[in-house]
Structure 1
Amino acid sequence: MAVSSSPAPDALLGPADVRELAEVLGVRPTKQRGQNFVIDANTVRRIVRTADVRPDDVVVEVGPGLGSLTLALLEVADRVTAVEIDDVLAAALPATIAARMPGRADRFALVNSDAMQVGELPGPAPTALVANLPYNVAVPVLLHMLETFPTIERTLVMVQAEVADRLAAGPGSRVYGVPSVKANWYADVKRAGSIGRKVFWPAPNVDSGLVSLVKRAEPVTTTASRREVFAVVDAAFAQRRKTLRAALAGWAGSAAAAEAALVAAGVSPQARGEALTVEEFARIAENRVEHDNHANEEPNRP
């Protein structure tokens, strides 16, 4: 259901449009799903520009909500596929697109699903991901989409400012951690701007940030799988204060086995995870030495 049956002079949604559409649909934004709707047309156009969306792009959007960013994407991209978990919002969005941008409605597709469960999308493979991600699931959704759709070349996500800082952090930063390393496995990551609270309804209690991810020109060269590398990353940051020799003991089977893998990878056993690049984590994964945890636990008995 859309607010109007005919396109508005400006097809994008403004504050009154968003509130009216929400009222018609009986929608009350929920914290549980991290729903904060963008109500400023200039902001969504800025996001599209910053994302470097091009006329031949097939864009996937996660969490389109009432369609503010969706409409701005359709102004520029060849096609837009939106993934929406909320049944009411998902049911209403196609009609909103048809009413406000009828000339582009055939370029829009909707997937009513949890983004974490999406394994395929209708139509051509996506080339870009642009999304205002719910704060509580931003990192897992982002990583799932990048893993599931390797054709994505450019990504721009709006997330909580603190999460944006973590994603874009480099080795040595105090906020460098699991999200930083895993995002860098897929892409070159950088902060791409800040978004004020007043452009949302309801206004969140935290600031937002834009993060740009451009697919790595050269993938991480390693014989280890993504899963194996990520297992090292998870173990290294599970106990940040410990040296890698201690932190990776469980992963390797023992502290001695962890030290052997680290030395073979050219990494100091006394280093900590926050000092390592994704390439160094990959080398550690390659050099894991299988170890029997019980080999020397008990002496031989006659």
Structure 2
Amino acid sequence: MSEPVVAGRGKAALLGPAEVRELAERFGVRPTKQLGQNFVHDANTMRRIVATAGVGRDDIVLEVGPGLGSLTLAALDVVDRVIAVEIDPTLAQHLPETVAARAPELAERLTVVPMDAMKVTHADLPAEPTALVANLPYNVAVPVLLHLLAEFPSIRTTLVMVQLEVADRLAATPGGRIYGVPSVKAGFYGTVRRAGTVGRQIFWPVPQVESGLVRIDRFPESPWPQDDSFRQRVFAVADAAFAQRRKTLRAALASWAGSAPEAERRLVAAGIDPTARGETLDTAAFVRLAQQS
């Protein structure tokens, strides 16, 4: 990734509360819970997200759920290209004209892909993204995040805004109450950390939950295989281990391994105490365990 560019006041006229409402009214758009839509209307928060992502001029940013374009405009001020995936056909249709009106010199840097992010593949994008920077739809944030990390190994840096509880779970470390499947799976790709909190008042409508930022830096050289088959094996072990959190791994993994004795054999071979519980294992331990299957 290139040297980050400080997200200051650039060529794009970012959106504020009045502009967000005006655009929504003009396009006949009302935020819907079904699509997890809450539109951001604070320009400083958008600049902060782009700066925290550390993206630079040579980056190709993948954005999911751009909505009315608040984060899109901030990203275009800093990077060479933004590929915005938007499931709402009305929003997808109007985003290019908003960018053309508020950042005419940057409009050619934007590509809008009108589809469900959960179904996006390499064939749907015009270029390989180097970063994922997005205010993810909160109702599908984790599945979308994991799908994109798996589908696009070219994504080296991820900075996403999600529900605060989800942010905490993604960045949790072994041994805690909130450590679980999302923590293990996110950690399969790289280093995960919390990158700040975001207040409710920057959204319209104001959500009932607080929001948090999560940053994932993909391993420059992965310590384990990243192919689909191996990833699925690791994730299957994690799913089984946390399906019955209160049970020891010997018992929780019995169905996965075929029997409790076989689960114990694999655990011992992986250097893991069979009486331990899933929340005590880091991602590397689940990898070792998957390698025994």
TM, length-normalised to structure 2: 0.93
Q: Given that residues 12 and 74 in structure 2 are in contact (C-alpha distance below 8 angstroms), is that contact kept between their aligned partners in structure 1? A: no
Give the conservation status (yes or no) of the 8 Å contact 2:192–2:217: yes
Partner of 1:78: 80
- Mapped partners of 1:248, 1:231: distance in 2: 10
Q: Matches of 1:94 and 1:218 in 2, distance apart?
A: 37
For residue 96 of structure 2, the aligned residue among 94, 97, 104 is 94
Query: In the alignment, residue 140 of structure 2 is paired with which amino acid?
Result: V
The residue number in structure 1 matching 2:69 is 67
Residue in structure 2 matched with residue 256 of structure 1 by the alignment: 261
Instruction: Tell me: CA distance 1:46–1:222, structure 2 relative to 1, closer, same or farther (3 Å).
Output: closer
Q: Percent of pairs identical after alignment?
A: 65
- Counterparts of 1:175-254 in structure 2, within 5 Å, are 175-221=178-224, 225-254=230-259
Give the alignment partner of residue 275 of structure 1, picking from 268, 273, 280: 280
Q: Within 1, Cα distance between the matches of 2:17 and 2:166?
A: 26
Q: For structure 1, list consecutive stretches of 5 or more residues without a partner in the other structure.
A: 1-8, 289-302
- 1:214-237 CA distances to partner (integer Å, 9 max, x unpaired)? 011331325971111110000000
Q: Match of 1:117, as an amino acid?
A: K
1:1-302 paired onto structure 2 within 5 Å:
11-120=13-122, 121-221=124-224, 225-288=230-293
1:67 & 1:147 partners in 2: Cα distance? 26
Residue 103 of structure 1 aligns to a residue in which SS? coil
Other-structure match for 1:292: none
User: Given that residues 84 and 112 in structure 1 are in contact (C-alpha distance below 8 angstroms), is that contact kept between their aligned partners in structure 2?
Assistant: yes
Task: Give, in angstroms, the shift of residue 39 of structure 1.
Answer: 0.4
Structure 2 equivalent of residue 300 of structure 1: none
Amino acid at match of 1:160: Q
Q: 2:106 is paired with a residue of what secondary structure?
A: helix
Whether the aligned pair in 1 keeps the contact of 2:12 and 2:76 (CA below 8 Å) is: no
Taking the aligned partners of 1:33 and 1:63, their CA distance within structure 2 comes to 9
CA distance in 1, matches of 2:71, 2:179: 30
Q: Please give the secondary structure, in 2, of the residue aligned with 1:173.
A: coil
Tell me if structure 2 keeps the 8 A contact 1:159–1:209. yes
Q: Which amino acid aligns with 2:188?
A: W
- Tell me how far apart the structure 2 counterparts of residues 221 and 126 of structure 1 sit (CA, whole Å): 22
Find the structure with the greater CA-based Rg: 1
CA contact (8 A) 2:249 2:277 kept: yes
Partner letter of residue 249 of structure 2? L
- Specify every segment of 5 or more residues in structure 2 that has no aligned partner in the other structure, as ranges: 1-10
User: What is the CA deviation profile of residues 92-145 of structure 1, one whole-angstrom value per residue up to 9, with x for unaligned ones?
Assistant: 101111111111111110100000000024333111000001111000000000
* 2:8 aligned residue: none
**Number of aligned residue pairs:** 280
Counterpart of 1:296 in structure 2 is none
The SS at the match of 1:225 is helix
CA distance in 2, matches of 1:147, 1:251: 23
Q: Per-residue displacement from partner, 1:22-73 (whole Å, max 9, x unpaired)?
A: 0011111011111000001111001101111111110000000000000000
Q: After TM superposition, what 4+ stretches of structure 1 lie above 3 angstroms from structure 2?
A: none
